A = this chain, B = another copy of it.
């Protein structure tokens, strides 16, 4: 399989962790987002959204959107599972993941921050926007798993929730968010980053890292 991605893209990072947890090797095809390579015509033919990641399976089928890709991986390669069996527990894990993937990440991504600059918003306010989005979103995430058993977000093994959390915490730090305010999230991150599947998926370990 081939993964179109970018070392610093947190959505690509989520999929890299899932592939590692499943023990699946893929060819990595980097697209430099800051240079706009994701808007090249040949890439738009693969993903009309002009976003990474996109996964191309062995039959040549194209999958887009990180959460959809991860659920597909989990359905086709069920071990180790990334979602619990019980429907209510699955809904809680998905809701946590979506609180990050819908309500934090897209509001602080490169494209939105670039649009703010086009509107002549000052650089300090652009950073404050990204920081506030992360801070408020992560505070809600901390509350969403209050009382849940650890060490991961939802118990004894990593789930879709941890796959979303670890990349988002990296973003939050880049924007200067005081992540110490979220002790439960940090404990999950520590447990996750101790696993090779997470460690090897980190941006700085990718071939296109700068």
Contact = CB atoms under 8 A, between A and B. Distances in A.
Interface of A: 48-51, 57, 61, 63-65, 67-69, 71-72, 75-76, 87-88, 90-92, 94-95, 98-99, 101-103, 105-107, 112, 115-116, 119, 121, 125, 129, 132, 137, 139-140, 143-144
Contacts of A92: 63, 68
Contacts of A50: 140
Contacts of A49: 99, 103, 137, 140, 144
Per DSSP, chain A at the interface is: helix
Per assembly, the copies of the chain total 2
A134 to B, nearest CB: 14
A88 B105 contact: no
Given A68-B98, A71-B91, A72-B88, A107 B103 contact: no
B51 A72 contact: no
Contacts of A75: 87, 90
Contacts of A71: 90-91, 94
A86 to B, nearest CB: 10
Contacts of A119: 116, 121, 125, 129
24 contacts: A49-B140, A49-B144, A51-B103, A57-B88, A63-B91, A64-B95, A64-B99, A64-B144, A65-B95, A65-B98, A67-B102, A69-B91, A69-B95, A71-B90, A71-B91, A72-B88, A75-B87, A98-B101, A98-B102, A102-B105, A106-B106, A107-B107, A115-B129, A119-B125
Contacts of A102: 65, 67, 98, 101-102, 105-106
A93 to B, nearest CB: 8
Contacts of A107: 106-107, 112
Q: What 7 pairs across the A-B complex have the smallest Cβ distances?
A: A48-B143, A68-B94, A65-B95, A72-B91, A68-B95, A65-B98, A49-B140
